[in-house]
Amino acid sequence: MSASVQNKHVPQIKIPATYMRGGTSKGVFFKLSDLPEAAQQPGVARDQLLLRVIGSPDPYEKQIDGMGGATSSTSKTVILSKSESAEHDVDYLFGQVSIDKPYVDWSGNCGNLSAAVGPFAIANGLVDPARIPENGVAEVRIWQVNIQKTIVSRVPIVNGEVQETGDFELDGVTFPAAEIPVAFMDPADGEGAIFTTGNLIDQLDVPGVGILKATLINAGIPTVFINAADIGYTGAELQDAINGDSRALEMFETIRAYGAVRMGLISDVSEAGKRQHTPKVAFVAPPADYVSSSGKNVQASDIDLLVRALSMGKLHHAMMGTAAVAIAAAAAIEGTVVNLAAGGSKRNEVTFGHPSGSLRVGAEASLVEGRWHIEQAVMSRSARVLMEGLVRIPGDSF
């Protein structure tokens, strides 16, 4: 073997990891203490490690040489540790890994993977054993580090261990599993400003698109809600109708960029590419019959409205959990684009149709000293360990 070949050989390192599904997403979960020391702190080393684990950046957009699944729902990482707060059990940090760019977005939460945090924390000793019943439900108090919010997960326990199998069905997930109710507490931003502009509906001027009626809400995750009809859609579209249309994707990214500026998330539209995870863009319409991506007939009589949302530049196959929180919050406040699409009446829960089927979410809204407040938003999800052991990456990856 030549010296040049020998010099290129870098042994792989092994890192304890768990591959988990949470809701309609899946990702690679780590205990903070299991990461190499250089990656136990925020920074370049951590980002480079996670990029290599997932298989990014990949110009082929397949993530063949990593754990990612080449979609926004499967290019995700989670780092967990015992909480530094006495009021919480576990600290939860989420990293959305770009598929084709060398970038990890830490600006928001993943609501779907939030359902897997409690089960992982219990199974990996991050929750006080005294708080886990032999049989029953363990309430796991989660501190979501990215958005500085509390999440409460109710995890079913059988014979002292997390129950993963069950008969709870979730549209967008093929097989049933155990139900895990997840409550997102006070889901607005730190100052409680659900509507960052102060308006229930804004006139959003988007060059090349027009002036759109938009609800710009920060609950669960910053989201720009617009009417499907205003951009030429019905609200019953599936992924192929959007994701194969480059002009449509460019339009949605432009809407997202101008929405981000209006919400104060960025100062100029040129910065939107460096903040891919937030805000989300979603379009809504009154209920209508349609056929989901699995061939299931969704009846207008069974839903309150239609919602389609984009994540990381593509139409999502179901619905992001954090966007579902935003939907619940906006639906609960009379006069928003979402509430009007659902009929305009006061409500504390809503069932919406998405590409994979339907989902029911709930939220209670109240007006306190001139500001809207959401105490909590609740939805049911499920989670399951897919694989656990050691993930390997070349030792010079970070």
Catalytic residues: 110, 320
Q: Both tokens of residue 256?
A: 């997202």
Taking the C-alpha atoms of residue 314 and residue 226, their distance in angstroms, rounded to an integer, is: 16
Tell me the sheet residues that pair with 158.
Answer: 161
Q: Both tokens of residue 309?
A: 């949302």
Who contacts 9 (Cβ-Cβ below 8 Å, separation ≥6)? Answer: none
Backbone angles phi and psi of 46, in degrees to 5: -60, -45
Taking the C-alpha atoms of residue 34 and residue 393, their distance in angstroms, rounded to an integer, is: 14
Taking the C-alpha atoms of residue 32 and residue 86, their distance in angstroms, rounded to an integer, is: 18
Q: Give Cα separations from 132 to 121, 135, 156, 304 (angstroms).
A: 11, 8, 10, 37
Taking the C-alpha atoms of residue 202 and residue 199, their distance in angstroms, rounded to an integer, is: 6
- Rounded to a whole number of angstroms, the CA Rg of the chain reads 21
Q: How many residues does the chain have?
A: 398
- Is residue 118 within a helix (H) or strand (E), and if so which, with residue range? helix 111-123
Q: CB of 280 within 8 A of CB of 224?
A: yes
Taking the C-alpha atoms of residue 140 and residue 126, their distance in angstroms, rounded to an integer, is: 10
- Supply the DSSP symbol for 296: P
Q: Both tokens of residue 72?
A: 């926004």
